[in-house]
Amino acid sequence: MILCRAVSKYYETLEGEKIHALADIDLSVADGEFVSVVGPSGCGKSTLLRLIAGILSHTSGDIFVRGSQVAGPRRDIGIVFQTATLLPWRNVLQNTLLPVDVQGLDKNTHTERAKSLLQMVGLDGFERKYPFELSGGMQQRVSITRALVHDPAVLLMDEPFGALDALTREQMNLDLQRIWATAKKTVFLITHSISEAVFLADRVVVMSARPGRVLAEFKIEFERPRSLDVMGSPEFGQLVTKIRRHLMVAGVLD
């Protein structure tokens, strides 16, 4: 579903200095797979996500989604950012339908899909509420429905729960697991939380400090659906520790 081959990215500052953000990224994500990416701040995780989305252009290498080369923004990708970025003058249903309006899709068909998605994320009855009337977690649920309303093949998520409190974040992890199982999408999640990455993913990709490279990949084999209790198991703790130690050996963590 996603294929990156020898992908590198350089930024140029206003002073003309070149910043090497990503170096020779080789990565693949299968259809329906849930992959999480962890690494230190500034390692290029979000840059990689934006390259896959076609929001940024890569300097060298190749990126393919569903077998076709990424050359710009695509309609078969949905994106969820760290902040919900809902439009304050649009209610929940209208915010969910924003991609439909932008892409000129059939409003009637997608309105029914939007209502179904809102019900799936537990927001049935909130269609006419405005962003200021919602909690942070509820706003992020709306941003997820907005990313899914046009039925993309791939869902890219950039630290979607980083701004939430710990309890809300745990609930959102459970919600996301359920949404992924129901919607059957390919998910590529960026997170700073190793435990969150392990809890949610089929596979965890570990990146190095800048320029970002793929250091290692860990297959996660805990049975699904996963309850929060799995985080307290010795096997879960051992895997989280293994990933953390891998980062420490590589000099990524102090």
Q: Give strand pairing partners of 193.
A: none
* DSSP code of residue 113: H
Residue 251 confidence class, pLDDT cut points 50, 70, 90: low
pTM of the model: 0.93
Q: Where are the domains of the chain?
A: 2-76+152-249
pLDDT above 50 (res 254): no
108-131 pLDDT per residue, tens: 989 999 999 999 889 999 999 999
For 83-111, give one letter per residue: b (16+ CB within 10 A) or e.
Answer: ebebeeeebbbbbbbbbbeeeebeeeebb
pLDDT above 80 (res 72): yes
- CB-CB contact of 77 with 54 (8 Å): yes
How much of the chain exceeds pLDDT 70, in percent? 98
Dist. CA 104–CA 189, nearest whole Å:
28
- CB-CB contact of 151 with 99 (8 Å): no
Report residue 16 as tokens. 């003309």
Please count the other Cβ atoms lying within 10 Å of the Cβ belonging to residue 228.
Answer: 11
Contacts of 74 (CB under 8 A, 6+ apart): 53, 54, 65
As assigned by CATH, the class of the 2-76+152-249 domain is alpha beta
pLDDT, residue 30, reads 97
